[in-house]
Structure 1
């Protein structure tokens, strides 16, 4: 152990404050290029319900995911964020207090190396310090919107709260760095038991504790490249095919695992998983007409029957099946027919007398001289 090695070498005992001071000095030199000095280190026990009152406001809150599903937080006040950003972008820390502003996702990415390296070095140096929980294996997992949502992500139990008072570049700026970590002993962490146990069981525990990324896909939208190149902030894209019941849960390889319904759990979005044999969701109605559905079946007529007819009279009649045709029918008479005998006798028409037709008077046509 580190404590025994330090005692054998005649070195002084390691304390949490000394471990944090060495960690910050190393981190400031490697990530910011400016010295960071620890002025004071506070240590408290904190419940998630008291998180909002214990953190600065506004503050940059980063989620830290640890082994075995443990969740911790790293919090920086606006002055510490401003000093770190100035050191990374300008190469120096500007004098004077920076204006308080709401932190952004870009701030979280810029603080990632600072937070991870500080906690990793502190966990290694303070491994033999009594009263501290296991702090190895934590990594950056994103930015939290506020303290209320951050408290919901923590386990409902007492947490270790470290408050580091920081001095940047010899007092040019001062700020705070907070760590909120669950009180977990090393024996309770996966792979740290004293007894090695059965290898298959240890392997199963390690695999089942591995993080898996799932994607909840509400719908897919296809746009031509010309429209994608014109996208801008605050632009609204219509999701005509999106429905609350049409969420698809997909794995890391993009395959669909099961369906889900979009909803809310407290202040966060959530999905309710749907069984595999559930009917597929209906598509959302769009501006155009959807596919035509089958016409409903016409109901059978139930009115009274015609008077004087029994139900048996309305049934289809039975016909005798036709018998087989004769194979050798009687031959037809090949004698030719006599046209005179087959033609009927009609009376001959009488000739019309032309003398009986009266003479027609000429039609007067003014303006036209007709020849005699």
Structure 2
């Protein structure tokens, strides 16, 4: 029996799967994003498998007539991205015809022109993968790889790649026209890229603490509006008399004195006392005392219509 067949069966049974999440979640999104932004086409990932292969096992993965993109990474590390003939043909068609044809052309050996046309998509997918993994542990082995060259057969890979374990992701892709393809990403398992950016968030400052809180609160309260009413007199009337009120009527104000004006806040509490008068042609109240009993030599001017709206002064005689 073919030794390659036996080796593939053993690799499939014993290969260590990568944990769910991380690069397994990010790679399908990166491939689709690169296709949408760089080529203007939509693709979806219909299947994904992750393995850890030796170099000998990796050399058996590329299918016939596949384009093998050589990737260079940090510390002279080398990886590969393999595009099978179906994926390669679809990427070429969308750039030359503007769309992916329903029927695929006959498979052929990839050329230097093919490699140049897909290199931008390869780099865009790798960049999107890095961006998606900035806070993930998988960034260490996926960071920093970009397209360098290509091969049209896998035999030279034995001399170009380091004899060390590789992390390998295989994605089955589907285009809107129904065409399918496969991409294989293989990178050295011993990563040399950046560490994930895991910054511990600082605790949110307590808005009720800090040296600026008192000053900010004072400024805010100083700008708040406070309603103060100048009350000459309060009268209680039966409901039937209130219903008979009409313009021109006279309402008596028993006990009203212009030198005993109460200043009341919105809560009905007396804030001070004053004397009714005029200031620059407007009704005015001169403050004579505050609720604490202290004198207040200030003149509080009120618009004439505001002072008259409490009760008409004709009732004072």
Q: What TM-score comes out, normalization by structure 2 length?
A: 0.52
Which digits, 9 at most, give the CA deviation of each residue in 1:90-149, with x for residues without a partner? 111001233111000111111101111111211221344456742111111111242110
Aligned partners of 1:28 and 1:34 also within 8 Å: yes
- Runs (5+) with no aligned partner, structure 2: 1-19, 198-317
Highest Rg: 1 or 2?
1
Q: What residue is the counterpart of 1:161 in the other structure? A: 168
Give the 3 Å change call, closer, same or farther, for CA 193–126 of structure 1 in structure 2. closer
More helix by share: 2
Give the 3 Å change call, closer, same or farther, for CA 133–161 of structure 1 in structure 2. farther
Q: What residue is the counterpart of 1:184 in the other structure? A: 190
Q: What residue is the counterpart of 1:55 in the other structure? A: 62
Inter-partner Cα distance in structure 2 for 1:46 and 1:146: 19
The SS at the match of 2:60 is: helix
In the TM superposition, what is the alpha-carbon distance from 1:51 to its structure 2 partner? Answer: 2.7
More strand by share: 2
The CA RMSD measured in Å over matched residues stands at 2.4
Counterparts of 1:1-372 in structure 2, within 5 Å, are: 15-130=22-137, 133-169=140-176, 171-185=177-191, 188-189=192-193
Q: What TM-score comes out, normalization by structure 1 length?
A: 0.45
- Runs (5+) with no aligned partner, structure 1: 1-12, 195-372
Inter-partner Cα distance in structure 2 for 1:133 and 1:75: 21
Aligned partners of 1:62 and 1:140 also within 8 Å: yes
Which digits, 9 at most, give the CA deviation of each residue in 1:225-273, with x for residues without a partner? xxxxxxxxxxxxxxxxxxxxxxxxxxxxxxxxxxxxxxxxxxxxxxxxx
In the TM superposition, what is the alpha-carbon distance from 1:73 to its structure 2 partner? Answer: 0.5
Aligned partners of 2:67 and 2:115 also within 8 Å: yes
Inter-partner Cα distance in structure 2 for 1:178 and 1:20: 11
The SS at the match of 1:155 is: coil
Inter-partner Cα distance in structure 2 for 1:145 and 1:165: 20
Structure with more contact order per residue of length (Cα contacts < 8 Å, sep ≥ 6): 2
